[in-house]
C-alpha cells in the first residue's frame, strides 16, 4: 500500500472503497476508521471475492484489516 492509498483511505471515512489484498481477495467496503498508529482500518464488508472465509451473521459486523494485507485501494466515488 502506498502513501496515496493511505491518503485515499483517510479521505474515504463513511465512503465505499475497493480494497485489493496481496492474497488475491478483492473487498468492497465502507470505511469507518483508519488508524495510522495501529496500521489498520475498520470497515463494513459489502462484498468480497472470498466470501466463504467470513462467518454469516444476521447483522453486518465490522471487520479489521491490517495495512500489511492491502496491496492497493480504489475509490468508488464518481468524479
Q: Is the per-residue pLDDT at 11 higher than 70?
A: yes
All structural domains of the chain with their residue ranges:
3-75
Q: Does residue 3 register a pLDDT over 90? A: yes
User: How many whole angstroms separate alpha carbon 61 and alpha carbon 76?
Assistant: 21
Cell of 51: 466470501
Are the C-beta atoms of 8 and 30 separated by less than 8 Å? no
Fold of 3-75: SH3 type barrels. (2.30.30)
Determine the pLDDT at residue 56.
62
Instruction: Tell the burial category of 43 from Cβ atoms under 10 Å away from its Cβ (0-12, 13-18, 19+).
Output: buried
User: Where does the pLDDT of residue 71 fall: very low under 50, low under 70, confident under 90, or very high at 90 and above?
Assistant: very high
pLDDT digits (tens, 9 = 90+) for 23-62: 999 999 999 999 999 999 999 988 888 866 656 655 667 8
Contacts of 49 (CB under 8 A, 6+ apart): 24, 25, 26, 27
Amino acid at each position: 500500500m502506498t502513501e496515496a492509498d493511505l491518503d485515499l483511505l483517510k479521505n474515504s471515512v463513511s465512503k465505499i472503497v475497493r480494497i485489493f489484498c496481496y492474497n488475491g481477495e478483492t473487498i468492497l467496503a465502507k470505511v469507518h476508521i483508519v488508524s495510522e498508529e495501529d496500521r489498520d482500518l475498520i470497515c463494513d464488508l459489502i462484498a468480497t471475492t472470498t466470501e466463504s472465509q467470513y462467518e454469516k451473521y444476521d447483522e453486518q459486523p465490522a471487520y479489521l484489516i491490517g495495512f500489511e494485507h492491502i496491496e492497493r485501494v480504489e475509490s468508488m466515488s464518481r468524479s
